[in-house]
Structures are given as structure tokens and as C-alpha cells.
Chains A and B, each alone.
Chain A
Amino acid sequence: MDLERVVIGIVVNGGEGKSKAMEAIAAAREGRIEEAEALLEQSDECIKKAHNVHGDYLTLESKGRESLLTIMMVHAQDHMMSAITVRDLAEEFVLMYKERRN
């Protein structure tokens, strides 16, 4: 498992997950609640993929493979944390817009 693949796997999937979550908020703001909920699900799928790459790498490390701590790895982790945070908050935003409309 090469480092570039790990970094890209986390950045792209995590990043897309965050993007979908932001789109969900925008959709909810415009009253498209069903679309917002679908976007949240898509966001979950993306973040799950990022998680899998991340998890595979963690498993290798816990089995004793030495990891290189590079700024690229830190960057990938940064993307993933931000994606998860935004995803969690987006759900609350969507709910808030939904309740406000009812």
C-alpha cells in the first residue's frame, strides 16, 4: 500500500464526503429536504470509503509495519477529520431547516 494511494484515497473520498454534506445544507436551505437527505447518505458512502483506506493503513501499522509520518499523511488526516465534523453538523442543519418549514 503506497503512501500516495493512501493519501489520495482519504483526501478524495473524505473531501467528496464533505462536499456532499455542504451541498446537503444548501439544498435544505432551499427547501429541497429529500434531496438534502439523499446527499447526506451519499456523503456517508464517501466518508465510509475514506474510513476503509484509513483503517487498512492503521491495521498495517498495528501489525508492526513502520509508518512514515509525512506532511501528506497529516494533510489526509486533516481532510478526514474535517469531513466527519462537517457531515455530523450538516445532519443537524438539515433537520433544523426541515423543522423550520413544518
Chain B
Amino acid sequence: MITIYLICANGASTSMLAEKMKAAAAEQGIDAAIAAYPDSSLPSLIDQADVILLGPQIGFKKKKLQDKFSDKKAVIESVNSVDYGMMDGARVLKYSLELVNTTIKRRM
């Protein structure tokens, strides 16, 4: 199973995207746990996560968060703002899966 957390300033708009991603995962038969949280929850979530996706509104924190959690397995990236704007759950899900695959390859 893959665990994806969407993170933004207070987890409101990302929760809309999380719902769309859940629907896309169910449709494609992908076993994924997807949820949205505010960035303040990140320290308590990071250990369970495979992918952390940042909303465009906190994209500027990416570098800091990547450095802070560099010893964790989770990949931290920002969501493409066009996909976010279109609330394209399927594309963001695909992107998450690609992130996991490339990270695994990098570590092998």
C-alpha cells in the first residue's frame, strides 16, 4: 500500500483534492491511503508517509522541509499548480506513484 499525504496551510483545499485522488485510486484499483493535513501536523505524519505533496500555497517551504526530513523515507514534492487548479485527482495520483518509483530506483 502507498500512503500519500497532501499538505497545505490548513488542510482545507487539499482535502478537496484528496477526495478526488481517493476516487481515482478506487477506480483504478490502486491500494492507497490518501489524506490531507495542515503543515503543522507533518512531524507526526512523516514516518508513515511514502509521499508528501505540498499545495502550491506552501511550495516555498519545500526546500526547508526536504532538508528537515532528509532522513525519512517519504518523498516531499509540490503539486503541479495546474493539476491542483483543475483538481485532477488522477494526474496527481499518477505523479505520486512516479515519485515513489523513481525514489525506489534511486535507492537501489
Which residues on the B side are within 8 Å of A95 (C-beta)? none
Which A47-97 residues sit within 8 Å CB-CB of chain B? 71-72, 75-76, 79, 83
Q: How does the 8 Å CB contact mask read for A2-28 relative to B, with 1 for contact and 0 for none?
A: 001001110111111011101100100
CA distance A12 to B58 in the complex (A): 10
* A15 engages B85 (CB within 8 Å): no
The B interface is mostly helix, strand or loop, or mixed, namely helix
* A11 engages B81 (CB within 8 Å): no
B60 nearest CB neighbor, chain A only:
A22
Report if B3 contacts A (CB, 8 A). no
CA distance A4 to B84 in the complex (A): 12
Q: A4-B87, A16-B81 are in contact. Are A11 and B60 (CB under 8 A)?
A: no
- Contact-residue size bin, chain B (C-beta under 8 Å from the other chain): 10 to 19
- Contact-residue size bin, chain A (C-beta under 8 Å from the other chain): 20 to 34
* A79 engages B57 (CB within 8 Å): yes
CA distance A94 to B47 in the complex (A): 37
B83 to chain A, nearest CB (A): 10
Q: A19-B59, A26-B60, A79-B57 are in contact. Are A13 and B16 (CB under 8 A)?
A: no
Which residues on the A side are within 8 Å of B87 (C-beta)? 4, 8
Give 25 pairs: A residue, B residue, CB < 8 Å, sorted on A: A4-B16, A8-B13, A8-B87, A11-B13, A12-B56, A12-B84, A12-B85, A13-B81, A13-B85, A14-B57, A15-B8, A15-B9, A15-B55, A15-B56, A15-B57, A16-B56, A16-B57, A18-B57, A20-B60, A22-B60, A23-B59, A71-B12, A72-B13, A75-B13, A79-B13
